[in-house]
Amino acid sequence: MISEDDIERFSRSRYEPEWLLNLRKLNLRKFQMFREKKISDSPIERSYTKVDETFIEEAMENGTGGSFREEGEYFVIDYTSGGEMDVKSSSLKYTVLRSMQNALVDFKEDIIKSMEDPRDEWSALSNALWSTGVFLKVPSDRSCERVIKFRVIYPSKPLIKKDVFIIGSNSHMQFVEYSQVKDGFRGLEETYLDIGKNSTLKHLTMVDGNNSHIISIKNSSLGNDSNDEWYYALKNLKNGIVVTNSVLRGENSSIIHRGALIGKAYEHYDVGTNIYHTGKGTRSDSNVRAALKDFSRSVIRGRIHISSESRESNAYFSGNSLLLSENAKSNALPFLEIEGDGAQARHSATITNLDYDQLFYAQTRGLDERESRNIIVEGFLDPVVRQILIYEGTRYLIFND
């Protein structure tokens, strides 16, 4: 496994400042602590998904940079090309968009904040080993000039990247991210979001995995009266781990979180949603849905923690799976920790088989069996997919039986 000496050689080769090297080492130690403290016999902590961790050392050796270009309404981040990424845009007047490497000097405090308190082992590992990524900052009292649309191209070789998004106070931003993945890609990505007081962020993430192994982490921190809406859709991942860690630190802050995935063949998805209520009067509403066929698997984890300081808060988590074949399987693991007075927390979890009465009814309306199955699955996933349809005018998750 990676040692602190490896971290030092890696950082020195990139001519990074001493403070960043120290943060990398600190996060490596935290990663090791997370591993040691993991409770293997607890269902919420148990490892259901095997990860080939050889990609970690390979990613350090690759040290992939990337390239940036604008194509119509899209910002294209291409990690298939090496070298240091130079991010420049003439279409943004107030919003700062740079590569992580170029942001180290002018935005040191923001980057330190994004790395000093990892919530899980993969966040700590990303902080220790990232080699590339994007930094974006919307100033206070300024909304982002446009809906930012990213198209991210991943290479066939392993990659560890970190993106940092800072939304100032009294600001607003919307962004969409499409991930275009080379066949067999293995990698770790983390997105850190800091949302200032009285600010809103709406974002969509769409990943077409192309038979890849991806660990994707989203960490967000919300200030007073702020709001975060996140919608994501996953398909064609051979092995996917998706973890959300959201901290509602500000009073009256709120989260709406929607995720959907389609599994087929022998694909395996492990989706974890962790919501930490620490501010008074906070609200969260999370719903993850999986449609599975063939021998595919899903694990849907939901953890809600309401601290003693988070009084009068309200939280809801729902995990729902639709099994379309007898060999598909799903685990649902909701978990509540309630300490705050006057708080309300609810969870639900369902794992259901295809309803043949619905299938028969659809066929009586003139649809064949394949079309009937597809429309049932689309209806099941609609609470998430409709948002992509509203924002993008395209139905991203289409079930092909």
Q: Tens digit of pLDDT for each residue in 128-145?
A: 999 999 999 999 999 888
pLDDT digits (tens, 9 = 90+) for 250-264: 999 999 999 999 999
d(CA 150, CA 118): 25
- Per the prediction, the chain carries an average pLDDT of 88
Task: For residue 212, give the amino acid letter.
Answer: S
pLDDT of 289 higher than 90: yes
pLDDT at 379 over 50: yes
The Cα-based distances of 361 to 220, 262, 292, 356 in angstroms read: 43, 23, 21, 8
- Of the chain, the end-to-end C-alpha distance in Å amounts to 42
Q: Which pLDDT score is estimated for 399?
A: 45
Residues whose CB falls within 8 Å of the CB of residue 366, separated by 6 or more in sequence, listed in order = none
pLDDT digits (tens, 9 = 90+) for 210-260: 889 999 999 999 999 999 999 888 989 999 999 999 999 999 999 999 999
Within 10 angstroms of residue 54's Cβ, the number of other Cβ atoms is: 10
Confidence of residue 38 (pLDDT cuts 50, 70, 90): low
β-partners of residue 268 are 239, 297
**Residues 6+ positions from 288 with CB-CB distance below 8 Å:** 258, 259, 260, 271, 273, 300, 302, 318, 319, 320
Contact 36, 121 (CB under 8 A): no
Q: Can you give the pLDDT at residue 189? A: 94
Q: Rounded to an integer, what distance in angstroms lies between the CA atom of residue 355 and that of residue 379?
A: 13
Q: What is the pLDDT of residue 41?
A: 58
pLDDT band at 63; cut points 50, 70, 90: low
Number of Cβ atoms within 10 Å of the Cβ of 143: 18
- Is residue 109 pLDDT above 90, yes or no? yes
Q: Lowest-pLDDT range, 104-118, 146-160, 357-371? A: 357-371
Q: Where are the alpha helices (DSSP H) in 279-368?
A: 356-364
pLDDT of 64 over the 70 cut:
no
For residue 85, what pLDDT is reported?
82
Q: Is 398 a residue whose pLDDT tops 50?
A: no
pLDDT at 273 over 50: yes
Continuous segment of H or E residues that includes residue 285? strand 283-292
On the question of pLDDT at 397 being above 70, the answer is no
Tell me how far apart the alpha carbons of residues 128 and 25 are, in angstroms, rounded to a whole number.
Answer: 6
- Is residue 109 helix, strand or coil? helix
Prediction pTM value: 0.92
DSSP string, 195-233: E-TT-EEEEEEEEEEEEEEEEEEEEEEE-TT-EEEEEEE
Percent of the chain scored above 70 by pLDDT?
94
11 vs 81: which has the higher pLDDT: 11
